[in-house]
Structure 1
């Protein structure tokens, strides 16, 4: 059977976190960079379909394709790593320093990958500045401004809102990374991953890696947003919220219930085997 039970999934989460902790800086930058660019591809695909169909749900339905590619190719996505690496630290299969190093270098990779794709995409849709009425370009500008000004206009309440939306986002995104471990078949992995990613994107929650593309791209296209606006009112609080959502509501929650349950079952099986051998 291709289905993997939850106890085994949690063991896979721990092992995945331990493996990620041992990656070299080169690998983290390359894999993080590719993932950042691919999420940019998924975002522009979703926006293109949305502007053509005037139906946002259709775009959200297609966006998970980029996430599936990232996971199947074994690339690095910091939002998933927020759930996995702390478990390896808890199990003493990785250190705090390795965990922080992974998060840092993967984020740097995301920023590079998102920026590279943003530059290429802006060149493509504006024809090097000769086209200024592209529908998707205007959509990106609107989104970049909404992702900053909608929160800054509310002050401290805006920061709380963006953090909560980031928590809700990575509750689903990290769950998508974990659900990929529930099947040994490629099609099973794809279907399992697709559902939570669709849920986050369709509801407009805040994903740090997507924002590393869409806000810089909006700035390049002429959005009335500064780099400090982006960092203060979106990128930094979104990273913080994604960390909470991924670690607390996915990694730790599943670990606490299934890891302990798995250990209990193993002890019970060992005791049963000992008793049977004495008969």
Structure 2
């Protein structure tokens, strides 16, 4: 006997998730520009919070097994996407799914470009604002300089890739990020959405994939430490600024360009357009 009026705690079916994603994409493009900008700044702050958490957790992790350290750091970083999904914000990497709206004919390219420009700029502003606060607050000095050293290590590693490698790592990253967002659409509870964020995000962080918005915080944070830290910091960690010469503005910009391209392909094409093709395409 079927019990009536019981809440449905099962997952939303994939076809319904595709419709939800399409409506969300169209809704993003139709928001007032001022609203979009504020929500994008918040998303930049949320991802920067995750970047800060990751940097702190990874401080002194050289003594841990490599894979275990990456797993712990990746779980910490998943905080960022949880904040974006549950608190409501506009994140560039998930906004790449607006290509679904173009495929269904509900959005034009100018709508998408306008949204992407606003969201990308807002994410960057939020990331830099949070980095300035973290630097000004001296958080990077924690652990006798180990938190700052962690930030330097992270930035140096990210700037060690070639252009094509950054594109590929950007593709792989946003494939996982947008699949994570897709999974959150299947959950009917806040706890379910939070659980959906953990392992896919931990996977991309552990594997060293490249997320453009995360890099908007992690790379400038490393740059500020390299350029502004005093001699007592360098003495404490046993390095010099010259050891991190690769962390410069030119290399940061050269990282963000290919990673952004890769993120668009991984999220907008591999996730958004593939889901449109399977679930939303008008079949003749």
- Give the TM-score of the pair, scaled to structure 2: 0.83
Alignment of 1:30-45 (within 5 A): 30-45=38-53
For 2:280, the equivalent position in structure 1 comes to 259
Secondary structure in structure 2 of the residue aligned to 1:184:
coil
Matched, 1:48 2:48: no
Q: 1:126 to 1:79 in 2, by over 3 A?
A: closer
Aligned mates of 2:137, 2:219 — CA distance in 1:
17
- Offset of residue 58 of structure 1: 1.1
Aligned mates of 1:244, 1:145 — CA distance in 2:
25
For 2:204, the equivalent position in structure 1 comes to 200
Runs of 4+ in 1 over 6 A off after TM superposition: none
For 1:249, the equivalent position in structure 2 comes to 270
Are the aligned partners of 2:103 and 2:273 in contact in 1 as well (CA < 8 Å)? no
Are the aligned partners of 1:165 and 1:205 in contact in 2 as well (CA < 8 Å)? yes
Aligned mates of 2:108, 2:88 — CA distance in 1:
22
Secondary structure in structure 1 of the residue aligned to 2:122:
helix
Q: 2:83 aligns with which of 64, 69, 78?
A: 69
Unaligned runs of 5+ in 2: 1-7, 227-243
Per-residue Cα deviation, 1:172-194 (whole angstroms, up to 9, x for no partner) = 00111111111222212121222
Per-residue Cα deviation, 1:109-128 (whole angstroms, up to 9, x for no partner) = 0111010111111122268x
For 2:102, the equivalent position in structure 1 comes to 89
Are the aligned partners of 1:7 and 1:258 in contact in 2 as well (CA < 8 Å)? yes
Q: 2:126 aligns with which of 91, 113, 134?
A: 113
Aligned mates of 1:173, 1:107 — CA distance in 2:
16
Aligned mates of 1:51, 1:132 — CA distance in 2:
8
RMSD: 2.0
Are the aligned partners of 1:125 and 1:137 in contact in 2 as well (CA < 8 Å)? no
Matched, 1:183 2:205: no
Number of aligned positions between the proteins = 252
Aligned mates of 1:71, 1:30 — CA distance in 2:
15
Aligned mates of 2:119, 2:129 — CA distance in 1:
15
For 2:258, the equivalent position in structure 1 comes to 237
Are the aligned partners of 2:18 and 2:275 in contact in 1 as well (CA < 8 Å)? yes
Aligned mates of 2:114, 2:149 — CA distance in 1:
37
- Offset of residue 56 of structure 1: 2.8
Secondary structure in structure 2 of the residue aligned to 1:94:
coil
